[in-house]
Amino acid sequence: MKTSKPKTTRIPVYRDTAFHLVDIPTMKQAFSDELEYNRDPELYIYSRYRNPNVAQAETMLMDIEGSKWSILTQSGLSAIDTALSIFQEKGSNQNWLFFSEVYGGTNQYIDSVLIYRRGLNIHRFSPEGDAYSIEKFEQLLKDINPKVVFFEAISNPMLIALDGNEFIKKAKEHGAYVIVDNTFATPYLWKPLEVGADIVIHSVTKYLAGHGTISAGVLSGNDKSIEKSALEYRKLVGHMLSPDDAARLCEQLKTYNLRVEKQFKNAFVLAYFLNDHPRVEKVLFPGLETHPTHFNAFKMFKGKGYGAIITFDIAGSSFEDKQHKCSKFIRLLRDEIPLIPTLGDTET
């Protein structure tokens, strides 16, 4: 009996390891660089290379980011590994420049992988107090002539907001590749590719997916030669996202704009509440006019929001007293706000 496929609004989850190819000539074509890297929608070979669910999620992310390509990986750090690895050349004496205020996992990756295992010349650019100096950045560019510059739009966890447009402009004037981790700002607030960044990275696990059910990362860009290198690296190293996680991500991306808009508004209200509270000593949030990088954040994000992370100190007579009060504060909140080492979820 002849059966027909049901019409649905979602594509099925393709858990296949490999896909049928009609004949030998088609197989030869499928393995050629031209079709493999041009993302031919009819030719799937092996799920470590490409998968229909992953391809659909990547298309949605391209629309969100405004990029010519997006490449999904298993985590934010695997996206960082992919983005950084494709610029490394054996035996070269390249200088790479990283802003010092970045996610702890990124700093561990720099130390354990890039420096200890791969022997790269890594330079770190530190803020002066609570802000980065564009003048000192430009001088450092002249001094070391870096091949790659890496920074976060809003730093994790101290929430230093850069004038990213200016830093990208200066780095590009000196011929560097610019990679931006935009996880905390999201494409809702800022799109680094529009001002010349070569690659923008997100821990998709956080705001883009936003439900605490998948681990994923994405790197996006416009340069097709970078895309080709990144796809090859993902394929050979095995950073491919699973079809089930990709299918869940497709559902979660449909509410991304609504979720982050509400999260950013809630954070703004909460930051001002904490800032006026007598038991809070200090609040770090770029949306506060007292924050040292507030002007940068307002200029960059045009008043649409300032992220949804708030860092604050509880008042106390000593460090030990603050620790005690902080522990008590977390215990009192844990029924409403679980103590979980992640962010961007709908849990609060």
> Which residue from 137, 131, 133 is spatially nearest to 159, judged by alpha carbons?
131
> Which residue from 167, 189, 108, 188 is spatially nearest to 180, judged by alpha carbons?
167
Reported confidence tier of residue 2, pLDDT bands at 50, 70, 90: low
- Looking at 187, 221, 253, which one is the last position of a domain? 253
Contacts 24+ apart (CB under 8 A), 102-105: 102/150, 102/151, 102/152, 102/155, 102/156, 102/181, 103/76, 103/152, 103/156, 103/181, 103/183, 104/156, 105/76, 105/77
Instruction: Decide which of 219 and 44 is more confident.
Output: 219
Q: Do residues 238 and 326 share a domain?
A: no
- Looking at 205, 231, 253, which one is the last position of a domain? 253
d(CA 206, CA 217): 9
Q: Do residues 137 and 220 share a domain?
A: yes
Q: Do residues 228 and 106 share a domain?
A: yes
d(CA 48, CA 26): 19
Q: Do residues 317 and 177 share a domain?
A: no
How confident is the model over 3-13, as a mean pLDDT? 77
Q: Do residues 129 and 157 share a domain?
A: yes
Q: Considering the domain boundaries, does residue 273 fall inside one?
A: yes
What DSSP state is assigned to residue 111?
I
The pLDDT > 70 percentage for the chain reads: 95
CA 338 to chain centre: 23
pLDDT digits (tens, 9 = 90+) for 270-307: 999 999 999 999 999 999 999 999 999 999 999 999 99
Q: Considering the domain boundaries, does residue 266 fall inside one?
A: yes
Q: Do residues 296 and 239 share a domain?
A: no
pLDDT digits (tens, 9 = 90+) for 23-61: 888 788 777 765 555 566 667 888 998 899 999 999 999
Q: Do residues 35 and 132 share a domain?
A: yes
Q: Considering the domain boundaries, does residue 17 fall inside one?
A: no
How confident is the model over 312-339, as a mean pLDDT? 92
Q: Considering the domain boundaries, does residue 16 fall inside one?
A: no
CATH number at residue 219: 3.40.640.10
Q: pLDDT value at position 36?
A: 55
Q: pLDDT value at position 1?
A: 54
d(CA 104, CA 263): 23
Q: pLDDT value at position 72?
A: 98
CATH number at residue 264: 3.90.1150.10
Q: Considering the domain boundaries, does residue 10 fall inside one?
A: no
Q: How many domains does the chain have?
A: 2
Q: Do residues 209 and 322 share a domain?
A: no
Q: Considering the domain boundaries, does residue 235 fall inside one?
A: yes
Q: Considering the domain boundaries, does residue 15 fall inside one?
A: no
Q: Which domain holds residue 320?
A: 256-333
In three-state secondary structure terms, 151 is strand
- Looking at 228, 253, 278, which one is the last position of a domain? 253
Q: Do residues 266 and 247 share a domain?
A: no
Q: Considering the domain boundaries, does residue 192 fall inside one?
A: yes
Q: Do residues 235 and 264 share a domain?
A: no
Q: pLDDT value at position 38?
A: 52
Q: Do residues 198 and 291 share a domain?
A: no
Q: Do residues 53 and 191 share a domain?
A: yes
d(CA 246, CA 12): 11
